[in-house]
């Protein structure tokens, strides 16, 4: 079986050690290297373990005849566009557990009409991770508030709605909140 473990690992910017330590149970970087190069046979169990460690689907780690890869043909940096140093493929985004989506119907702040945001649901103990990030907060009666989390005091979240001239809103004990983690935009 021809695998794409190395291409996906490099696309995710993980080292062999990163993948090995993220496996459950952890393994050695040498084992991951052997599985990448085909020196060791890759079982379905290994594919699933490595896929979880990389945050992708197991199918993303093998060459499928009915799916076309998206090759990376250039890298853009401060000095312009250049050919990549080695062959690479783009890894399609996969939603994580608890991912919710928000669609943008009208441009506001950094977002344009037609954008889609993937948000990671957070439990109250994790709200601090969203500091200075955009956050969707549930409100009573099926309403929501969306804006930048600018402060957190115990059970109160200080949210600055997007758009010019907006004032902060304090939300106490929201049932749940979700932090924006991926912007999907058609050009």
84-89 LR contacts (CB < 8 Å, sep 24+) = 86/10, 87/7, 88/7, 88/10, 88/11, 89/4, 89/7, 89/8, 89/11
Whether residue 123 is found in the same domain as residue 169 = yes
Give the pLDDT confidence of 107-155 residue by residue, as tens digits: 998 899 999 999 999 988 889 899 999 999 999 888 999 999 999 998 8
For residue 35, being part of any structural domain is answered with yes
Contact 102, 86 (CB under 8 A): no
In a domain, 141, yes or no: yes
54 and 105 housed in the same domain: no
Mean pLDDT across 85-97? 78
Assess whether 115 and 158 both reside in one domain: yes
Question: How far, in Å, CA of 137 to CA of 69, rounded?
Answer: 37
CATH code assigned at 17: 1.10.260.40
For the entire predicted model, the pTM comes to 0.66
Q: Could you tell me the residue range of the domain that residue 151 belongs to?
A: 99-184
In a domain, 74, yes or no: no
Within-domain flag for 71 = no
Residue 87 lies in a domain: no
Domain count, the chain: 2
Band (65; pLDDT cuts 50, 70, 90): low
The yes-or-no verdict on residue 63 having pLDDT over 80 is no
| Same-domain check for residues 116 and 179 | yes
């Amino acid at each position: 079986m021809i695998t794409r473990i190395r291409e996906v690992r490099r696309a995710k910017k993980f080292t062999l050690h990163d993948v090995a330590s993220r496996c459950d149970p952890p393994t050695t970087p040498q084992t991951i290297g052997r599985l990448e190069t085909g020196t060791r046979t890759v079982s379905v169990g290994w594919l699933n373990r490595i896929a979880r460690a990389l945050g992708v689907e197991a199918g993303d780690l093998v060459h499928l005849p009915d799916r076309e890869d998206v090759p990376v043909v250039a890298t853009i940096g401060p000095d312009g566009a250049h050919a990549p140093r080695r062959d690479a493929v783009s890894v399609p985004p996969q939603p994580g557990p608890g991912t919710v989506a928000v669609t943008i119907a009208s441009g506001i702040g950094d977002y344009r009409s037609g954008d889609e945001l993937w948000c990671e649901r957070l439990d109250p103990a994790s709200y601090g991770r969203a500091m200075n990030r955009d956050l969707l907060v549930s409100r009573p009666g099926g309403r929501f508030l969306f804006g930048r989390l600018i402060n957190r005091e115990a059970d109160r979240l200080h949210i600055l709605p997007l758009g010019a001239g907006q004032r902060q809103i304090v939300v106490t004990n929201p049932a749940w909140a979700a932090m924006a983690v991926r912007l999907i935009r058609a050009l």
